[in-house]
Structure 1
Amino acid sequence: MEPFVLRSPEVTLSVPTAADVDRVAEVCTDPDIARWTTVPSPYTRADAEGFITQFVVQGWQQERDFTWAVRAPGTVDGPVLGMMGVSIRAGEPGSPLSGEIGYWTAPDARGRGLTTAAGRLVVDWALDPDGLGLQRLQWLAFVGNWPSRRVAWKLGFRFEGTMRRHGLQRGRLLDDWIGAVLPDDVREPVEPWPAEAPAV
């Protein structure tokens, strides 16, 4: 599949290129990204080069991992404000096609609703029969990652529970939260925000 651009009045999603290597390397040294994702830590420029020239390029070529850089509206090559992607999940032959969403946001772009706006574009495409046509799109986050959970909640993901020692981060097993959205689900909050969540 050839990479393509997704747009809304709030954001533009375009595939990251070699021109984004320095910005990705800078952003991925952020302590919160290191804490809540599986990116290498410490993160180097070589890591950013490998991410863009190998993972991103091969993912699109193999139609397995679809990754976009989140940018300001109206530009396909502006500064990277975040990253958003969908990965196909392998299942039994003949089983319904499912995927997993993933995202991070640059520190200087947080609190502006950009990740939620980008997520709406990607969720709609992933579940649309004329898009990827997934029958289930799931969200995973390490337990305690409330910013990620808030985005998923706004996008209509139904919280399904906690999976103990399910997530692997740089050699450590961690507990995962899991949620999912299906094609016919309402893509807006449908559950109360958890009472135990800290104020944000």
Structure 2
Amino acid sequence: MEPFVLATDRVRLSVPTAADVERVAEVCADPEVARWTTVPSPYTRGDAEAFVERFVPDGWRDETAFTWAVRAPAASDGPVLGMVGMTREGAPGTDLSGELGYWCAPDARGRGLITEAARLVVDWAVDPEGLGLAVVRWRANVGNWPSRRVAWKLGFRYEGSLRRFGQQRGVLVDSWVGSYVPHDPRVPNEPWPVEAPAA
């Protein structure tokens, strides 16, 4: 599949390019990105090059992982504000599933941009004219409240916590998991947890 652009009046999603390597390296070296994602740590420019030059194009070519850089609207070459990706699993002729993932640059947090971007990607992923997924899953390390809030806003149903379910740099970690199926309302399906820290 050839990469394509998704956009609203608030965000533009386009495939990261070689011009984004320095910015990706800078953002992925942020302690919060390292804490909650599976990126290498410490993160180097070589890691960013491998991500942009191999992981991203290979995923699009094989139609297994679709990755977009989040940018300001109409800024085709604007700086990376975040990253959103969707994986796809399943054999042809069977129900397909996917997993949503994302991270946000420190200077772009708190503006709702990742929620907007992730909504675009989920909409495309469950559309029969897109990937036609039967379910999209979300997973985050226990304690990653910003990630959980994005999934909550998008209408993902929180399914619970699984012990040592996630893999992070060779260590098994407890994970929150959630799911979204086509025709679920695109709004929160339950109150925001009272135990969540104040924003």
TM-score, structure 1 normalization: 0.97
Gap regions ≥5 residues in structure 2: none
Count how many residue pairs are aligned between Structure 1 and Structure 2: 199
Q: What is residue 14 of structure 1 aligned with on the other side?
A: 14
* Shift of residue 160, structure 1, vs aligned partner: 0.4
What do the CA deviations read for 1:83-107 (whole angstroms, capped 9, x no partner)? Answer: 0010113x47754100000000000
Q: Considering only aligned residues, what root-mean-square deviation do their CA atoms show, in Å?
A: 1.0
User: 2:156 corresponds to which residue?
Assistant: 157
Identity of aligned residues (%): 69
1:110-156 alpha-carbon deviations (Å, 9 max, x no partner): 00110011011001000111111001001000000000000000011
Residue equivalent to 2:58: 58
Amino acid at match of 1:16: P
Q: Which amino acid aligns with 2:98?
A: G
Amino acid in the other structure paired with 2:166: G
For residue 22 of structure 1, what is the amino acid of its counterpart?
A: E
Uncovered stretches (5+) of structure 1, i.e. residues with no partner: none
Instruction: List aligned pairs for 1:34-183, cutoff 5 A.
Output: 34-89=34-89, 91=90, 94-183=93-182
3-state SS of paired residue (2:88) = strand
- What SS does the corresponding residue of 1:156 show, helix, strand or coil? coil
Name the SS for the 2:19 alignment partner.
helix
SS in structure 2 of the partner of residue 159 of structure 1: strand
> SS of the counterpart of 2:76?
coil
One-letter amino acid of the counterpart of residue 179, structure 1: G
Task: Give 3-state SS (helix, strand or coil) of 2:167's partner.
Answer: strand
Whole-Å separation in 1 of the counterparts to 2:104 and 2:123: 20
Deviations 1:57-86 (A, max 9, x none): 100000110000000001121100000010
Q: Residues of 2 paired with 1:102 and 1:125: CA distance?
A: 14
Q: Deviations over 1:17-55 (max 9, x none)?
A: 000000000010000000000000000000000001110
List 4+ stretches of structure 1 deviating above 2 A.
Answer: 91-95
- Three-state SS of the structure 1 residue aligned to 2:52 is helix
- The whole-number CA distance in structure 2 between the counterparts of 1:129 and 1:55 is 25
> Residues 175 and 183 from structure 1, CA distance in 2 versus in 1: closer, same or farther, beyond 3 angstroms?
same
Letter in 1 for 2:188: P
Matches within 5 A, 1:25-36: 25-36=25-36
